[in-house]
Amino acid sequence: MDLTREQHLAMHRSMVRIRLFEEAAGSLMEQGKMPGFLHLYVGQEAVAVGVCEALRVDDFLTSTHRGHGHLVAKGGDLPRMMAELMGKATGYCGGKGGSMHINDLSLGMLGANGVVGAGVPIAVGAGFRNKYVGSDQVSVAFFGDAATNIGAFHEAANMACALHLPVVFVCEHNKYGEYTPTDRTMLIADVVDRAAGYGMPGVIVDGMDVIAVYAATSEAVERARRGEGPTLVEAKTYRFYNHHGIQNLGLKYRPDEEVVAWKERDPIFSFEQRIVESGVASREVLDATWAELRTAIDEAIVFADESPFPDEDQLLAGVFTESAHP
């Protein structure tokens, strides 16, 4: 796949943004500065970034409980994200959604979701809208391997195919549903085997390789834009930290050797090696990106820290839309 230098650097930058944001968030949680649940995306950066590189800003996506990476990759604003995670008034949801409901409708990011699989039918609805209005916009549903055992996934996948909707289903197969290994909860090794059951093509891609993800998704997106219906893309990937929070090694539900082996395939470091070895950019350029983004994250934390909590009058605001159309 021919990619420009700018594309390489943009994808690298986006992955580093996710990595630094997530590690900062995890650290803040461990310091007790962040309330609630935190499902970190670290390790899976190549999936969100590879997919979103294949999308336009006006394409839609729905996300999961592990959703920060998807919003960052779609172009999310780090200070507003950090503020939301801290429950501040300046956050994306005014502090009322938090990590699991973070969204940016102006970027077509229709929300992280606290219910496994529940975003998939909503992505199909956005895909329906695209076809209905005659647009070539597409809609992407991100979900995990475990979500493919949920009824909503099957209903939505079948409906998208039956109605020939411009939807791309992106399964991030990270081998665990919370703390249970996926090979104990489904007998097939590859989620993509399910695609044939709905009459759509399926493709397996190395989810630690951002260019591979980008290439596979681009094909699926172009197919959807041409009106040829949905595709299931299965990215084999791994979350470096825990299901919830940052702790990783030493938990009994997955072997330390497995974690170490996947970390050796770190999607950012392996991409950097490729960039440097192929002469696309120098180590110094990449290091400068890290340094610049560290500053950006620090600024986001300061912004969030200094932002006020929402006023009490916000408690009941936004349950309903007040102004009905005439």
Partner 1 sequence: MTDERSLTYVQAFTEAVRLEMDADPDVFIAGEDVGAHGGVFHTFDGIQKEFGERRAVDTPISEQAIIGLGIGAAVAGLRPIVDLMFMDFVLVAADQIANQAAKLKYMFGGTATVPLTITTTGGAGLSAAAQHSQSLEALFCHIPGIKVIYPSTPYDVKGLMSASVRDDNPTLFVLHKRMLGTRAGPVPEERYQVPLGVANVSRQGKDVTIVSWGKTAVDSLAAAEQLAVDGIDAEVIDLRTLSPLDIDAVVASVRTTNRVVVAHEAVRFGGFGAEVAAQIQEHAFDYLDAPVGRVAAPYSPVPFTPALEQRYVPDSHSIAAGVRATMARPLLGG
Q: Which residues contribute to the site for partner 1 (CB under 8 A)? A: 60, 62, 91-97, 101, 103, 105, 110-111, 113-115, 118, 120-130, 132-133, 139, 151-152, 155-156, 158-159, 162-163, 317-321, 323-326
User: Which run of H or E residues covers position 51?
Assistant: helix 45-53
* Residue given tokens 């219906």 in the structure block: 229
User: Which run of H or E residues covers position 128?
Assistant: helix 119-132
Shortest Å distance, C-beta 317 to partner 1:
6
C-alpha–C-alpha distance, residues 323 and 307, integer Å: 29
Residue 260's SS3 state is helix
Q: Smaller CB distance to partner 1: residue 90 or 217?
A: 90
Shortest Å distance, C-beta 164 to partner 1:
12
Shortest Å distance, C-beta 7 to partner 1:
28
Query: Which CA distances in Å does 207 have to 63, 138, 181, 216?
Result: 16, 21, 18, 10
Shortest Å distance, C-beta 91 to partner 1:
7
Shortest Å distance, C-beta 36 to partner 1:
13
Shortest Å distance, C-beta 212 to partner 1:
28
Q: Smaller CB distance to partner 1: residue 123 or 220?
A: 123
Helices 5-30 and 283-306, axial angle in degrees (round to 10): 40
Q: Smaller CB distance to partner 1: residue 82 or 120?
A: 120
> Which of 107, 115, 186, 106 shows the shortest CA–CA distance to 156?
115
Length of the chain: 326
Q: Smaller CB distance to partner 1: residue 133 or 187?
A: 133
Q: Smaller CB distance to partner 1: residue 125 or 202?
A: 125
Q: What is the DSSP letter of 198?
A: G
Q: Smaller CB distance to partner 1: residue 151 or 279?
A: 151
72-107 CB burial, b ≥16 within 10 A, e <16: bbbbbbbbbbbbbbbbbebbbbbbbbbbbbbbbeeb
